[in-house]
């Protein structure tokens, strides 16, 4: 490694008091006789030369003691022992030592991200190692100093990371000063297996680009390559379970970046979150907006690739120069510090510029345990809209819409039967309909309720709730109570809520009469039971927490014993 020894030597001279005195010495008074002055100047010059030589010897001793290359290699070795291999490979291995000046080591980083990460994460550790190696107190600073040549690696030799181990730094002027042109190449969808290619000449491009896709007005004809062509607002069946999310989605299409930003849509698997995101993407791309849709996993993979390939400008431009960013399954960035750091700054950049952000998750922000507080705060600062399980009427409407889309005429009785049997999610609901249509011809008769029942008995076994006594036991355990407490006379809020939940489930799932429920729950009056059932039903409509409690308890009481 080439070290600027001249600058080091120069700085050492300036630090040396002998050298400083020699440099600042002024000429003798003009009143001294010329001969005496000349002799004095010669003597002083000789003395100064001696002192300067001594100062140089001191500097050379310091430089000899500080073999910078050797010291830095030892530092790297020590860091490699103390850090995870993936962290060292990503952030530290390509660093170098630039110089040593006035008690400060100057470390070169390959790019701005590495510089900022080292400054925030490793500065004290590196400072401590260097102080130990040199036997003196030192300071450390970091500068961007790209390697002259990039390491050559075969495509298969690079390590694969589950996530960048630590936080990526904030956007810097170096990385943001020259934004690259956002690519409008259609690149993929959340479900590559169902991707539709509408332009054969672009298939090669699609295969070569990341799964995230930037869409501009010119790509409208190619939306099948990005969004599922069936996932539009026209095919989105609206019910009580998703009305708020649907209304908010339409509102942001009309006025993006204003009222609901971000829009955070959450709900269980297969309930229509991705459908809604695709519908928003379809609508806004038709308005000429630049739209970027990807999963949180793709966001992470792109970040890792950008760091390893040192093309952070392109990465940031890709995600920040859009009108609409759609991120699916954001819960998977939980616990990934670097991904959360970069998404935090990406979100801030878009939000500050009035750009719309739409996020989906399987749970609300407060329930993503490993989500950073600052991200949770931003997600909760917009509109949170939940999509819950559809009710019976909505499930029938969904099945009717599905049947029409595939040109099938199916009686309402059959659709009602499917809707009664399949309650979990829309994906399973449509799957049951598809299997019914496929298998019906093998029964050599028209698809009626009898045929549908015989097919569904094998496809979707009818679930039955546990017996009433088991339901009481399950509710008590769920709320961390004993059965005696639940059946007793305690009127504390916790016990009363649990008791009313048991009343509701025994009524709705087991079909017991109000009188029978009252007798089972400690001899209570039927009017008390009616009040409890009605209260839980009302709470389900307005309280997401109660709704989730009911869903969880339903799953438990329908589980086979011993499961």
CA distance 178 to 314: 9
Phi, psi of 324 (to 5 degrees): -140, 125
Report whether 528 belongs to an annotated binding site: no
CA distance 462 to 455: 12
For every residue of 509-544, DSSP letters joined together read TS---HHHHHHHTTS--HHHHHHHHHHHHHHHHH-H
Token pair recorded at residue 103: 């008690």
CA distance 280 to 275: 9
CA angle, 217 then 219 then 221, to 5°: 105
Reference 417, options 432, 435, 402; nearest CA is 432
H helix intervals, 187-238: 203-208
Phi, psi of 178 (to 5 degrees): -130, 75
Reference 264, options 425, 387, 394, 373; nearest CA is 387
CA distance 83 to 89: 10
Report whether 274 belongs to an annotated binding site: yes
Q: Give the 3-state secondary structure of 434-450.
A: HHHHHHHHHHCCCCCHH
User: What Cα–Cα distance (Å) separates residue 545 from each residue in 184, 225, 367, 424?
Assistant: 42, 38, 11, 18
> C-alpha dihedral over 282, 284, 287, 290, to 10 degrees?
-100
Reference 284, options 232, 341, 340; nearest CA is 232
CA distance 336 to 328: 16
CA distance 188 to 212: 6
CA distance 186 to 214: 7
For residue 356, the cross-strand partners are: 324
Binding residues for ATP, by number, are 270, 272-274
Binding residues, by number, are 270, 272-274
């Amino acid at each position: 490694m080439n070290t600027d020894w001249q600058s080091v030597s120069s700085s050492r001279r300036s630090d040396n008091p002998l050298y400083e005195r020699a440099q600042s010495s002024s000429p003798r008074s003009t009143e001294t006789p010329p001969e005496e002055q000349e002799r004095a100047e010669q003597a002083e010059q000789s003395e100064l030369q001696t002192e300067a030589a001594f100062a140089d010897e001191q500097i050379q001793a310091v430089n000899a003691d500080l073999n910078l290359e050797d010291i830095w290699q030892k530092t790297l070795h020590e860091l490699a022992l103390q850090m995870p291999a993936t962290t060292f490979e990503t952030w530290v291995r390509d660093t170098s030592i630039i110089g040593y000046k006035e008690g400060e080591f100057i470390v070169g980083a390959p790019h701005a991200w590495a510089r900022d990460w080292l400054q925030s994460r490793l500065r004290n550790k590196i400072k401590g190692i260097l102080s130990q190696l040199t036997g003196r107190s030192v300071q450390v600073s970091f500068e961007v100093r790209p390697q002259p040549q990039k390491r050559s690696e075969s495509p298969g030799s690079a390590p694969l990371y589950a996530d960048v181990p630590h936080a990526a730094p904030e956007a810097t002027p170096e990385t943001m000063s020259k934004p690259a042109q956002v690519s409008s190449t259609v690149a993929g969808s959340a479900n590559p297996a169902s991707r539709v290619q509408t332009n054969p000449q672009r298939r090669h491009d699609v295969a070569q680009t990341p799964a995230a896709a930037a869409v501009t007005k010119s790509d409208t004809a190619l939306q099948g390559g990005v969004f599922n062509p069936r996932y539009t607002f026209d095919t989105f069946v609206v019910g009580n379970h998703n009305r708020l999310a649907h209304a908010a989605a339409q509102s942001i299409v009309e006025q993006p970046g204003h009222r609901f930003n971000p829009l955070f849509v959450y709900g269980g698997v297969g309930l229509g979150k991705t459908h809604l995101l695709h519908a928003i993407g379809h609508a806004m791309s038709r308005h000429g907006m630049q739209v970027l849709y990807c999963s949180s996993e793709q966001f992470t993979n792109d970040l890792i690739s950008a760091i390893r390939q040192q093309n952070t400008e392109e990465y940031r431009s890709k995600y920040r120069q859009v009108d609409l960013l759609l991120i699916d399954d954001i819960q998977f960035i939980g616990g990934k510090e670097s991904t959360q750091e970069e998404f935090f700054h990406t979100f801030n950049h878009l939000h500050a510029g009035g750009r719309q952000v739409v996020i989906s998750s399987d749970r609300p922000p407060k329930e993503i345990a490993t989500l950073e507080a600052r991200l949770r705060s931003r997600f909760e600062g917009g509109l949170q809209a939940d999509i819950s399980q559809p009710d019976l009427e909505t499930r029938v409407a969904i099945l009717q819409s599905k049947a029409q889309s595939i040109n099938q005429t199916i009686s309402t009785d059959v659709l009602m039967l499917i809707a009664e049997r399949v309650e979990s999610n829309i994906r399973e609901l449509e799957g049951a309909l598809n299997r019914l249509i496929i298998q019906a011809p093998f029964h050599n008769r028209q698809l009626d309720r009898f045929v549908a029942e015989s097919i569904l008995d094998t496809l979707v076994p009818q679930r039955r709730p546990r017996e009433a006594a088991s339901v009481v036991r399950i509710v008590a355990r769920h709320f961390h109570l004993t059965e005696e407490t639940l059946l007793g006379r305690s009127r504390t809020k916790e016990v009363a809520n649990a008791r009313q939940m048991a009343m509701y489930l025994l009524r709705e799932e087991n079909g017991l009469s109000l009188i029978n429920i009252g007798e089972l729950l400690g001899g209570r009056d039927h009017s008390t039971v009616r009040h409890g059932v009605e209260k839980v039903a009302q709470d389900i409509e307005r309280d997401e927490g109660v709704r989730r409690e009911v869903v969880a308890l339903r799953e438990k009481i329908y589980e086979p014993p011993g499961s």
